[in-house]
Structures are given as structure tokens and as C-alpha cells.
Structure 1
Amino acid sequence: MAQNDHTAFVMRDRGWHPPAYAPAYKTSVARSPQQALMSLQTPTASELTGPDFDNFVLGPVDNDLLLNFRPGTDRDGLPIGERIIVYGRVVDQYNKPVPGTLVEVWQANAGGRYRHKKDAYMAPLDPNFGGVGRTVTDADGWYRFRTIKPGPYPWPNDVNSWRPAHIHVSVMGPSISTRLITQLYFEGDPLIPLCPIVNTLNDPEAVDTLVARLDKAGSRPMDSLAYRFDIVTRGALQTYFENQG
């Protein structure tokens, strides 16, 4: 039950989040808990506080994935793909901004390949794109990244499964216990309703929390389209967690 104190916990709605065991999403079979979950009854100070990012040192282009793998101004040294801006606001369960919290992203390149030694997809690596970034929210909870729109890619869930274009997002929230790891998808992508991971969600409104909306007003003319993705860290309207354990 919610209280007036913004640090109070709201019980997670298990009908809103996907089940840990979802056989159509094959990896969940081995990863799902084998024993009953433990309930957090009385949060302690360690769950309700920190970490503090006030003195966290960011590089000048940490949130610019066009530049942070190979900083420079040479157009030939920029990543290939559709340039986009991804931005939004991090709030708590009472719609209060979460300032000064760390937001991290990682993603595939425009061809759908990650810069990871275990990614064997045949799409080429982009020598100018690392696919990771980080920033800290401002006083009103806003964050912003500039990047390349990632491509979809196949994965061995079944004979012809494809992941929609997506960006992984980690946000710490107001305390250590509210860390959220999720994925954002892009409005209008026809692969979203076909994805076995997305289909572990039973509520269309829950799926909607994962979709970044095209925002022409926030775009940079002749440069980058913008997509807005707001994040609720806890409570009845929280953004879907990527892993529930």
C-alpha cells in the first residue's frame, strides 16, 4: 500500500509483470526460480538509500554514442545508420522526478550486431560505434542520449525469431533497491507484437510502457529524429523490468 513518503514501497503487481517461467521465451525455462520467492517485508536503510552520483565524473561525450567510441568531427569517422535522439524523464511511483541518478544504455549497431565477442550474427561491426553510453539525470529527472537507431536481429528462440530494434536501459532510481533494467522499443515497429519476450506481458498497457514515441518537436532538423521514453522506477505504473527473479 502506498504511503505519502516517497521512499515507501508499493507491492509489485505480478499480473503487470511477466511470469518468470514463460516456455514460449525459451531462455526463461532455465533461468526461472526453482523455489518460492522471498518477500521484502520491512525495507532497511541499505534498500532505501544511495548510491550518490553527485561526484560522479562523466566524460564530455559519454551520452553521445555517435562520438564516444571514436571522438572527433570527421564525418567519415561517424557511425553508419539513422541518427536519433533518445530522451525522457525518470520519475518515482508518485510522479516525482528522480534527479542525479545514473542512466546507462547499450545496443546493437544499425545492422543489428553488438560489439561483443559472443555475438556471431553475420552483420558487420561498425568500426566507429561502440554501442554503450551513460548519463546522470538533471534536477528535474531528465536524461538524453544521441545515438544510431539499432537494427533488428535473429535469435535462436525458434527457427525464425527476430528481436525488434531495441535499446537496453539501466537506471538506478531513487535507491539501490529500485534499480531497473529494461528495454525500449520504437513506435510502429511491426516486430514488437511478434517478439516472444514482449509476448510474456499479458497487459497491452504494460507493453506500451516499453515503447519510445516519435517526438518531432524534440528532433533536430536536418540531423536527428527524437524518441521520448519516460521511466517509472517503482510502483503500480512502473516500467516493465527485463528480468524478474
Structure 2
Amino acid sequence: MKKVTSLRLLYQLSLIMLIVAAPAFAQSPASETSDRSDDVSDPLNRYQIRYNVTRDGDNYGKATRELAVDDEGTYQLSTYFTASILFYDIERREKARFVVEDKSIVPLKYTLSDSRTFKRTKNTAYLFDPSAHTVKGAEGEAATSVPEKIYDPLLVYEALRVAVSRGLRGDTTFNVYDGGKPEQFHFTYNGSETIETSLGKFETEKFTRVRETSARKTAIWFATSVNYLPVQVTQENEGDEQATLTVAELNLL
């Protein structure tokens, strides 16, 4: 029983990394959209964040999130997650390359590597062609037509952060290419909250990812004083906490 419980807990902890180190769950297309500004008028500021991943106060893993930009103006958003319980380990890495064109985030390439004990490493890659409005997955696959404005499973949360920093204070929906097809991710706005972390108190704007076909919810707190970076994330299922990710170190570069 202890072994089964530990595996279930580690799986639940991995769900929380959908924000920082794993692809987002697919969701049935949502019909509701809202006015929002996810345009980028200035270059995105580089940053590094380190998180602790906990449940019921116990620490089970760590995660990092970093945004960098090269001399040619190409950005790379990178995440890393590791967790371990008894004999079972998870290690996940994600990268999203993108540029800013006409004040908007434009995805170029997304990669994921997921390694788990007793399982073969899973590797995923998406190549975006902004001019043709297509995405190509594994080598040899045909390109898939997608909406003009679409994001990968990692970059969508950066697009949400930018939109919040530009004044978004309402429900919104993003197009996301995930699982080999376009999906829509819906977020609800929950208002302003003050949260306390090991780095002190943060004034935040809270958004929650909701799923039409599941009771699972993912809440995200964007801190207004640090460029609206996500300082806390909580995964819930039917009202019960599954895991919480809280900032432990933060650097604006």
C-alpha cells in the first residue's frame, strides 16, 4: 500500500509541473474568449526562478524556470523539474524558443524530455512555421494547420503572464498546440491576493486553469512587484490539494 500511495503522490506532484516543466493537459475547445493584450511592446526581461514542490508541507522536489535571449533577439524559455519518492524518480526538461514580431510572441520550437524510473524516456518536439500557420511534430509527420495566434504547452503560460502584466483582469482563452493538435486552454480570473513565501509577502493576481471535462484545477499567482512572475502554483482535484509549487529563489536579470 505504501508503494502504491507513493507512486500516486509522485504522479500528482508531476501534474503541478504543467506550469513549469511539463506539457499542459488537453482540454475541450472553449467557446468563450475575452479581450486581452498579450502584445509585447518592450523586450521581455530575463529571469531565473527556483521552486520547491510540496504537499501537506513535505518537500518532494525542485523546479527551475529561466528566460534568456540571444544577441539576435531569439528568446528561450527553459524549465527543469526533478522529484523522487522511495525508488521512483522523475526528471523533466522543457524548452520553448520564440521571437517577438509586431509586438506579439511568436513560437518557433518546443521540446520536451521526460525521464522516469522503469520507463523509456519520452521526447517530444514541435516546429512552428508562423508564415504558413502550421506546426510539424515528429520527423516525417505532415504539418498541421493551426490558428494564426497559437502557443506551445510551455509558452502559453508566458503569454498569460505578459497579458496579465499588460492589464488583463478577466477570463481568457488561448490556442495551444498540444498532443499533436490545436487545443484551447481557458483561464478564469480570481482577483488580487497577498501570499507569503520564504522570500516574503507578494501582492499577486490570481488566475486558475479550469477544465471542462475534469475537476482538476491549476491556480497561478503572478507577483506584481517582480514583473508578474509566477511565485506560486497549486494543483487541486475536487477541492483537495494535490501539490504546491512555491518560489524559493528569484533573480531578475
TM-score, normalised on structure 2? 0.27
TM-score, normalised on structure 1? 0.28
Richer in strand (by share):
2
Highest RCO, 1 vs 2 (Cα 8 Å, sep ≥ 6): 1
Find the structure with the greater CA-based Rg: 1
